[in-house]
Structure 1
Amino acid sequence: MRQNDTQNLALMSTLPGFAEVRSLRAHFTSFAFEPHAHAEYVLGTVQDGVQRYSHRFGESYLQPGGLFTINPDEIHSGAPALQSGYAYRVVYVPQQTVLEAFADVPGADHPRYFLRPEAHDPELARRFSYAMSLFDEDYPENRLEAESHFVACLRDFFTRHAVPDDAEHVGANVRLAARLKCFLYEHAAEGVSLDELAQEAGLSKYHVLRTFKAATGIAPHAFLNQCRVGLARQALEKGHSLTEAALAAGFSDQSHLSRRFKALVGMSPGQYRRQLSR
């Protein structure tokens, strides 16, 4: 898909007061994300327009009031459903941050799991949008109010729409895929062959391909590219140049990094690096 950058805007930043949480504010009219996943929970809302949203259950159309509720490592993608596009606001929240948010709740020491990748909760969507507007417009003047609203929204995302994840529902194929994902991440910079992945799993390469895709929704090479983009993003956040980030992540050159990075992050590596310096 040809992308018109004058009609696609994505702004990524660290959420003030929450150094471990990333925030994305975006408006897309032609850009489509490739299927991908994140190590963190993805929480957010569509603020304008309609997004066509693909996930493990099929496809949904999110309008204002629709919430993103995506678990770590859950494959998803998104694209505009209308020519006018859509605008949304998303935060990426590490699992440890969620556990800390529920530290005062007895018996809430299990990770939480969203049963569906989207939820209809207009009241929470309005509160979440308001909290994000405080960070955008009135922070740090209203720092306490912004941070308090965000924590309250975070807890309501999980108390209203998630359940404790005790791992009893996780089958053998999912556990195997989780182990292989760790292996791919650990060796992302140097690359992994299908034979090496099969040896790690103790299965034939044909069985590995079928099992991995059935459990995750994407092929191993697509997950490897995702890991490499994550490594490049970390390198950029540490102040490395685009060339250094590409090499550190195992990409053959900067142009290869740029193509993969934008398809998964929604902006080019150069745009991402410039936003970090603001």
Structure 2
Amino acid sequence: MRKEIKTLVYDEELRLEAYRFEGMAKAFPNHFHDYYVIGLIEKRERRLWCKHQEYTIGTGQVLLFNPGDTHACVQADGGALDYRGLNIPKEVMLDLAEEITGNRALPGFSPAVLYDEEVSCYLRPLHDLVMNGSLEFGKEESLLLMLSLLMQRYGQPFEECIPECREEIERACAFMEEHAAERISLDQICREAGLSKSTLLRAFAKSKGVAPYCYLESLRIGRAKKLLEQGMSPMEAALKTGFSDQSHFTNYFARFTGVTPGAYRDIFLKSSGTGGEGQASP
């Protein structure tokens, strides 16, 4: 059986993550990120669910996930996935969008899956430059050219990509964001939203694409990543982000990102900003 290889590099100059999965057979459950994901399938096929749509994705296809886009995937052909991707934080995308368009507004990309050889021709060498720790300005040039093309062909104002949500669901989300580090109950969320449990669960899944608990855990994982990037220990990060214990945190973190919290933190402890095992899911 082919060995899984997961590699992640953080580029301090571009302020983004590049990662590569080789021989990846595991499935990723339904989840979302608070950053942009731009990925390229190098080999094999997967079934992908994104924002209530199902896709068969394969070699040469580009994935575009906006912050908050719910998605899940499983291997479809009995093989193992080869995939490369970039994770771009929203604050970085704001700066890049302003540089490219002169308008400081987040873009929203659609569709989530596309085949565009010109985009791939920018993405693959850019990814290689970041993974290899290049210090030349060519990588910044490639990033700007790639995003210019993506915004021109597949971009629209980010707000238009966010599905309309009922006021009650927004109150539930705001409550979970405010109290994510605490132990909260479904009863508390329902009281805040003013909905019964069954109504909340149906409406929340329809609006956000995930159940409330998955939404809460994804919030916690996102905050834990930021603490780990600052050098905090996995145990401290678990306690500060509301996980019941370090074991639960480690299992959940690895399930949704493909790497343990300790391995993720080690990437950012290296002064060179390179090396380490891989992270986020396709």
TM band (smaller chain): 0.7 to 0.9
In 1, Cα distance between equivalents of 2:68 and 2:213:
15
Q: How does 1:19-98 map onto structure 2 within 5 Å? A: 19=15, 21-98=16-93
Query: Residue by residue, what CA displacement relative to the aligned partner does 1:43-64 show, whole Å, maximum 9, x if unpaired?
Result: 1211222232221243222223
Could you tell me how far 1:145 is from its partner in structure 2? 0.8
Aligned-partner residue type, residue 13 of structure 1:
V
In the alignment, which of 249, 257, 266 is matched to residue 249 of structure 2?
257
Q: Between the two structures, name the one with larger relative contact order (CA 8 Å, sep ≥ 6).
A: 2
In 2, Cα distance between equivalents of 1:177 and 1:155:
34
- Preserved CA contact (<8 Å) 1:101 1:155: no
In 1, Cα distance between equivalents of 2:159 and 2:246:
42
Aligned-partner residue type, residue 207 of structure 1:
T
Change (3 A) 1:177 1:115: farther
Query: Residue by residue, what CA displacement relative to the aligned partner does 1:133-165 show, whole Å, maximum 9, x if unpaired?
Result: 12223612xx11111101111222222112224
Aligned-partner residue type, residue 15 of structure 1:
D
In 1, Cα distance between equivalents of 2:169 and 2:5:
34
Structure 1: unaligned runs, 5 residues or longer: none
Change (3 A) 1:86 1:192: same
Percent identical across equivalent pairs?
28
For 2:6, the equivalent position in structure 1 comes to: 10
Aligned-partner residue type, residue 130 of structure 1:
P
Aligned-partner residue type, residue 12 of structure 1:
L
- Preserved CA contact (<8 Å) 1:54 1:60: yes
In the alignment, which of 131, 139, 143 is matched to residue 146 of structure 1?
139
Could you tell me how far 1:32 is from its partner in structure 2? 1.3
Answering whether residue 226 of structure 2 is matched by residue 237 of structure 1, we say no
User: Number of matched residues?
Assistant: 270
TM-score by length of 1: 0.87
In 2, Cα distance between equivalents of 1:101 and 1:234:
21
Could you tell me how far 1:224 is from its partner in structure 2? 1.1
For 2:258, the equivalent position in structure 1 comes to: 266
- Preserved CA contact (<8 Å) 1:28 1:80: no
- Preserved CA contact (<8 Å) 2:100 2:144: no
Could you tell me how far 1:244 is from its partner in structure 2? 1.3
TM-score by length of 2: 0.86
Aligned-partner residue type, residue 113 of structure 1:
G
- Preserved CA contact (<8 Å) 2:42 2:60: yes
Could you tell me how far 1:200 is from its partner in structure 2? 1.9
In 2, Cα distance between equivalents of 1:184 and 1:7:
38
